[in-house]
Amino acid sequence: MYNSYRLLICILFVLASYQMASAQESDINKISLIIKQKQSTPTILKQAIEIGRERALLCSVCHGTDGNSTKSDVPNLAGQNPVYLLEQIEKFADGRRKNYVMNSLAKDFSTEDKINLAIFYNNMPVKPASVDKNLAQKGKQLYETQCSSCHGKHGAGSTSFARIAGQQPIYVFETLKQFRDNANDDRLKKATKRKSSIMEPIVKQYSDNELRVISAYIAQLH
């Protein structure tokens, strides 16, 4: 009887999680359409960029006035795919991603704020960091073998995957290291700030040096 009850609870939990995920995906799809509509009309696009710029004032402390990060461990948002970026803001807003500052800010953003922010950052040019070219070259094969199928040959990404070209190398390294550590220690998954069921098995066996050369290669992509 007890085991049957536990099974029922598990089934209900899975169904609830599936329904929540479906609802979130539906919302993202609707917002994605709004973004495309705004970007297709020059006057509306210009207005969205300016409103997004104003709303990004607090974000500029870490991410820079134009989305190019002022801190090596904070990601560039310039040039990021708007639908992907908006989905990350949603994850901070509902707690799926953990960061005290971002969680607090994202909760205060309206849907319109999030859309305008995503459009603003998407339209800012990325300024790639300077990296050791020899180090970056060593990461080329690893990138093309393991990363390009999702993020693209030139790191442009898509609506589902981040644009990583020109990203801060230290930020990329620390993020990949977190994914690797999650994959190798189940205890970390409960407390970690960032999870990825896709990335964790890919980087599970990588050394710090391999993660560094991949990060350097990504940073110099245009």
What pLDDT does residue 160 have? 86
Question: How far apart are the C-alpha atoms of 38 and 35, rounded to whole Å?
Answer: 5
The Cα 84–Cα 107 span in angstroms is: 18
Q: What angle do CA 117, 167, 186 make, to 5 degrees?
A: 95
Q: SS3 of 33, please? A: helix
At residue 185 the predicted structure's pLDDT band, cuts being 50, 70 and 90, is confident
Q: Worst-scoring range by mean pLDDT, 24-38, 74-88, 118-132, 206-220?
A: 24-38
In this prediction, residue 159 carries a pLDDT of 85
How many beta carbons lie within 10 A of that of residue 220, not counting itself? 21
Full set of structural domains in the chain with CATH: 28-122 (1.10.760.10), 133-219 (1.10.760.10)
- Is the pTM higher than 0.85? The answer reads no
What residues have CB less than 8 Å from 27, skipping those under 6 apart?
90
- What tokens were used for 92? 């901070």
Integer angstrom CA distances of residue 135 from 8, 139, 175, 180:
53, 7, 19, 21
Rounded to whole angstroms, how far apart are CA atoms 62 and 58? Answer: 8
Q: Per-residue pLDDT tens for 75-134?
A: 999 999 999 999 999 999 998 888 898 999 999 999 999 999 999 999 999 998 889 999
Computed over every residue of the chain, the mean pLDDT equals 86
